[in-house]
Amino acid sequence: MTIYETYMQRCLQLAALGGGQVAPNPMVGSVLVYNDRIIGEGYHRVYGQAHAEVNCIASVRPEDRHLVPDSTIYVSLEPCAHYGKTPPCADLIISQGIRKVVVGCRDPFEAVDGKGIEKLRNAGIEVMTGVLEKECHWINRRFFTYHTQHKPYVLLKWAQTADGKIAGGTNERLLISNAYSNRLVHRWRSEEMGILVGTRTAQLDNPSLSNRLWHGPQPVKLLLDMDLKLPLTARLFQDDATVVVFNTQKHTLEPGTVFPLQQTGTYYYQLSKTEPLIPQLLHAGYQLRLQSILVEGGANLLQQFIDSNSADEVHIITNTGLFAGEGLAAPALKGFTAVQQQTLDKDQLHYFVHQHHPYFPYHS
């Protein structure tokens, strides 16, 4: 690892501390280094508040202040160039007299998108880019997918038996998961902006789609129910979360509605019966500003995401001690590689994470 990578690694550690607090903004970390000594550290802590660079520079002790212009600032994401909820970080760096900036990766957000780096260079600052670029991109993969591909980052999740079944012979529920995996699933839910299920799953399993076993934010519940078959007595409607029902009959979301909404409740989003489903769902997710969606079933919906090459990551919980024999087969994965396997309890529950391009270890 080069010295630049070492300090960028520190930026990434700091950035991760903003997890769960800053979405839909990216997680960003920054360090200020004078003569191989860190004199300042900061990260984007809370959505709408100070950016990483601001916190980093503010953290410098009074006795080190005079060292700032001769220090190098490291940032895991390009410093911003725009007036958003806070003034541009590029301006702050310039006003501090800092002469060298090391950037992890470019910010794809259209108000920035290279303009921060350009602003710094125009001010005569030396800017080095692309240090641990893949890692910096990975930590904000939801934000990047949303801004560059104009769709949410899609994660699929299911639980299966040792012989690859997700339901029993007559579609009956199998007790595949346990307390460990239930809590893990609730954590996964809290990390995404939306959770999607199809009608049959909602009818047969009657899931709450809540994350009550974890302390993170509750994502928007997304129900695919083209013919509005699910009764409002279903469990997923019973708490005060926001639900969006994708259907072919009615639309109650005002144009321009974006998440997070001020008011919770149940909203209807109308889709076309004739257009392909998955692109419509991805477009709706983008329009509603959902940067990520966790799809929890059923098998048919999951398979449609896989077949249309629209899934970015797959999480599978496997109960290696349970064999179903007859039953509903788990979706068939194509073009994915397992990048992580973890044992969930001492005997039989394991979980696997699959991705398309596993270029470095999974950390989440």
d(CA 242, CA 217): 12
Q: Find out whether the peptide bond into 298 is cis, omega within 30 degrees of 0.
A: yes
Amino acid in position 198: G
Residue position matching structure tokens 């220090």: 71
Q: Please work out, in degrees rounded to the nearest 5, the angle formed at the alpha carbon of residue 230 by the alpha carbons of 227 and 235.
A: 155
Is residue 93 close enough to count as binding ligand AOF by CB under 6 A? no
Stretch that binds ligand AOF, among 51-59, 121-129, 272-280, 296-304 (CB under 6 A): 51-59
C-beta of 80 vs 127, nearer to ligand AOF = 80
Would the CA dihedral through 201, 206, 209, 212 be positive or negative?
Answer: negative
Q: Is 70 annotated as a binding-site member?
A: no
Q: Please identify, using beta-carbon distances, which residue of 80 and 278 lies nearer to Zn ion.
A: 80
In whole angstroms, how close is the CB of 187 to ligand AOF at the nearest point? 23
Give the one residue of 37, 65, 66, 85 binding ligand AOF; rule: CB under 6 A: 85
Q: Is 254 designated active site?
A: no
Q: Could you tell which of Zn ion, ligand AOF, none binds residue 85, using a CB distance below 5 to 8 A set by kind? A: ligand AOF
H or E stretch at 353? strand 349-355
Span near ligand AOF by CB under 6 A; candidates 76-84, 232-240, 250-258, 343-351: 76-84
Instruction: Give the residue with the Cβ less far from Zn ion, 78 or 296.
Output: 78
The amino acid at residue 202 is A
> Which residue type does 120 have?
L
Q: How far is CA 93 from CA 59, 63, 129, 334, in A?
A: 14, 19, 16, 46
d(CA 199, CA 214): 25
- Which residue, 142 or 189, has its beta carbon nearer to ligand AOF? 142
230 is in an annotated binding site: no
d(CA 70, CA 207): 57
- Joined together, the tokens standing for residue 259 give 């998440």
Give the burial string for 263-278 (b: 16+ CB within 10 Å, else e): eeeebbbbbeeeeebb
In the shown chain, the binding pattern of residues 36 to 55 toward Zn ion, with x for contact by CB under 5 A and - for none, equals: ---------------x----
Using CB under 6 A as the binding rule, whether residue 117 contacts ligand AOF is answered as no
Q: Which of 223, 160, 157 is nearest to 191 (CA)?
A: 157
Binding status of residue 77 toward ligand AOF by CB under 6 A: yes
Task: In angstroms, give the least distance from the CB of 43 to ligand AOF.
Answer: 7
| Catalytic, out of 5, 41, 53, 313 | 53
Q: Does 84 sit near ligand AOF (CB under 6 A)?
A: yes
- Site for ligand AOF, rule CB under 6 A: 25-26, 28, 44, 51-53, 77, 79-80, 84-86, 89, 107, 109, 112
- Site for Zn ion, rule CB under 5 A: 51, 80, 89
Q: Which residues are identified as catalytic?
A: 53
Residues of the binding site: 51, 80, 89, 159, 189, 201, 205, 209, 212, 296
